[in-house]
Chain A
Amino acid sequence: QQQVKQSPQSLIVQKGGIPIINCAYENTAFDYFPWYQQFPGKGPALLIAIRPDVSEKKEGRFTISFNKSAKQFSLHIMDSQPGDSATYFCAASNLGTASKLTFGTGTRLQVTL
């Protein structure tokens, strides 16, 4: 019940395309859903996060869509650039009871010219 399932495993889009990465969770106690971006040789860096009281959050070219009833959330990257090529992880936590993050399995994104 603690799992966060992420898909696809890898994704190739052309520059300007809109990659979409999907995650699903089971634990209804989760109330915080961040996305992390990881470049090779670096630690994960927080990209954007959402709480379940909203259905969408935008920060620059990054948008999270959240469907509480389906227990799913997704990351959209508008006007993707080669510099966005990285591994993206979704994660979930319960801010009230736990300090840990449960990560998805990651999506390796490649944005081509």
Chain B
Amino acid sequence: EPEVTQTPSHQVTQMGQEVILRCVPISNHLYFYWYRQILGQKVEFLVSFYNNEISEKSEIFDDQFSVERPDGSNFTLKIRSTKLEDSAMYFCASSEVRQVGGYTFGSGTRLTVV
């Protein structure tokens, strides 16, 4: 069964450093998403991306965040200057059409900011 692949599985970074979280969506999917889950809390929407541009973003997705599809396969989330409160599990998801039911989530990247 096709999978959404995320790397790394765990990233530790110092406060103020930049991090890039990587995702390889399912190959024929056109819509891409990032969500985050702070430990023990609910999953929160960050951003959706289609046709090489952001289609929707939450209030969490401020200027320190950016997304990019640098080539035909990768989808990245960049956090420019990490803060302690950015520590969370970050999930990438993709869907073939603009339909939430078609989401496939990756296994996540656990980001720890120290």
Cα distance A98–B105 when bound, in Å? 18
Our pick among A43, A98, A106 for the contact of B106 (Cβ within 8 Å) is A43
Closest to B3 in A: A43
A residues within 8 A CB of B45? 100-102
Our pick among B56, B91, B108 for the contact of A100 (Cβ within 8 Å) is B56
Our pick among B31, B41, B56, B108 for the contact of A43 (Cβ within 8 Å) is B108
**How many of chain A's residues touch chain B, expressed as a range?**
20 to 34
Known: A41-B107, A98-B56, A99-B33. A46 touches B42 (CB 8 A): no
Report yes or no: B48 in contact with A103, Cβ–Cβ below 8 A: no
In B11-65, which residues have CB < 8 Å from any A CB?
31, 33, 35, 41-45, 48, 50, 55-56, 58
Cα distance A45–B33 when bound, in Å? 15
Report yes or no: A99 in contact with B42, Cβ–Cβ below 8 A: no
Our pick among A45, A46, A49, A105 for the contact of B41 (Cβ within 8 Å) is A105
B residues within 8 A CB of A44? 43, 91, 105
* Residue in A32, A36, A46 with the greatest tally of chain B CB atoms within 10 Å: A46
